[in-house]
Chain A
Amino acid sequence: MLDLFFLAFVGLFIFAGLKRPFLLVLAYTYIDIVAPQKVAYGFLTSIPISLVTFALAFGTWAVLDDKRGTRVSFRQLLLVALLGYCGLTTLGADFPDEAFEKWSWVWKALLFAIFLPLTLRTRLRIEALTLFMVLSIAVIVIGGGIKTLAGGGGYQTLKLLVNDNNGLYEGSIISCVAFAVIPLIVWLVRHGTIFPKSKLVVLFALGLSFACMLMPIGTQARTGLVCGAVLAVLSLRTVKHRMLYLGALGALSLAALPLLPTSFTERMSTIENHKSDQSASTRVAVWKWTIEYAKANPLGGGFEVYRQNKLVYETIDEEKAGDNNIALETSTIVEEGRAFHSSYFEMLGEQGFPGLALWLMLHGLGVWQMELLRRRYRSREEPELKWIAPLANALQQAQIVYLVGSLFVGIAFQPFCYMLVGLQCGVWTYARRLQARPIAAPPSMAKTRTLTA
């Protein structure tokens, strides 16, 4: 039944795309995030809907779309360089079969991110892409939020749509992405034209944001808690009434604490003392291994290189032993083939220093460019311009949340995050095209002037 539903939905989407080809880009975005072929697990798995949709999206863009004034941003060139470099490391990978398996989806994510900004020619397209990214995440998050409220949460036990524990259906990753999406939800409510602001829209946005905030509780992912804290701090920059915001945040946190599951608070408390928690100790051991590996292999070992690691570390447990005495029990743990649990170390180990440099430059420039847009357009009140600064701010916040979450989760090649990069590039090149056109000066200026890029 689910197969038929998804097939019908994708079919109608593609049919609509034949009339308006840009809709095929949105269709591919939806398929890449939701992965309906995984959710349905029926005959849909045998239909290559992802490949078909991408081919249609690219083909119709190449043949039909207006390409006048198309600009390629420097970050798209960085993506091309990263794509090429990852291809090279895959050819010489330490684990060729596993590396090729990861490469089989990484190149698609990078290619789509390179292609995406070329299609974002209008304000409405930018808004539509943002909306579909948010609604696609909503497919996963709404169910996760309801199950969390119903008490169905737990570390690696919360059943999202797909029992995969992979990609966006993995607890830490969806917790990070869920918080990254909240600024985009706020922007859509305030500046959306597809669903203009109304009581229903605000209600849905509040519900969706709440569901996003429930994800770290349901998945008991510490990464999610850290991402939430980072977003709360970033929001201080743009919120109008800071003291009221801080007061409300504090009150809500205090009110929520007694309602949280004990298993959640116990797991979160291990953030402070990683030595007694095996998963946190494993992370530190892997990171140390990666640094040593990178010193010996500065160009990287290709995808999945972590499989060769062998880690020996100690955990320390404290136990009460009589009055005023604490017994320390040391355990020696040996583990093999543990994943990086950090995008930074994932890049360092797999793609070496050049790959890490490209990745850092890609994201660092993103934060900087969004800051530039935010400052350049924040005082503009014209309807055709006043949405740019808030969107740049939202995208910057989303990216910073991702970059902080990336400290603890290996999501260096997560496709959703490259869609975010593509969206940023699209907004950047759109703003540059605006600057190159003669536009009316703000009301405070008497003469019309042309801004050079």
Chain B
Amino acid sequence: MIDKITILIPHVLMAIAVWRLLLRDDLDHDGLAEPPTRSFRRGRPGDGDSGGA
């Protein structure tokens, strides 16, 4: 019985964590430690190194 309760609690917490992670936009990109995106067409007006995802 103890084993079943103690298995359940952390698993419920992990399930909640998975759900919250699914809803978070910053899981895959947080815009902080990423290199700036580069346009392969250099020299065009308005193109250039621009930060962000």
A: which residues have CB within 8 A of B?
2, 5, 9, 12-13, 16, 19-20, 22-23, 26, 30, 39, 65-66, 68-69, 121-125, 128, 131-132, 135-136, 138-139, 142-143, 146-147, 150, 161, 194-195, 204, 384, 430, 433-434, 436-438
Contact = CB atoms under 8 A, between A and B. Distances in A.
26 contacts: A5-B11, A12-B15, A20-B21, A20-B22, A20-B27, A22-B27, A26-B18, A66-B29, A66-B34, A68-B34, A69-B33, A121-B28, A122-B30, A123-B30, A124-B30, A125-B27, A128-B17, A135-B17, A143-B7, A146-B2, A150-B2, A194-B20, A195-B17, A430-B33, A433-B35, A434-B32
Interface of B: 2-4, 6-7, 9-11, 13-18, 20-22, 24, 26-30, 32-37, 51
Determine the main DSSP class of A at the interface with B: helix
B28 A20 contact: yes
Contacts of B27: 20, 22, 122, 124-125, 128
B18 A13 contact: yes
A139 B30 contact: no
Nearest to B13: A135
Contact of A136 (B9, B10, B37): B10
Given A12-B15, A139-B7, A143-B7, A69 B22 contact: no
Given A135-B14, A194-B21, 15 more contacts: A20-B27, A23-B21, A66-B34, A122-B30, A122-B32, A124-B21, A125-B27, A128-B17, A135-B17, A136-B10, A142-B9, A161-B3, A194-B17, A436-B35, A437-B34
Contact of A128 (B2, B6, B21, B32): B21
A437 B33 contact: yes
B3 to A, nearest CB: 6
A90 to B, nearest CB: 35
Contacts of A437: 32-36, 51
A131 B20 CA distance: 13
A407 to B, nearest CB: 30
Contacts of B37: 68
Nearest to A122: B30
B32 A9 contact: no
B4 to A, nearest CB: 8
A18 B7 CA distance: 25
A121 B17 contact: no
Contacts of A123: 26, 30, 32
A69 B10 contact: no
Nearest to A431: B33
Contacts of B26: 122-124
B2 A124 contact: no
A195 B14 CA distance: 11
A144 to B, nearest CB: 8
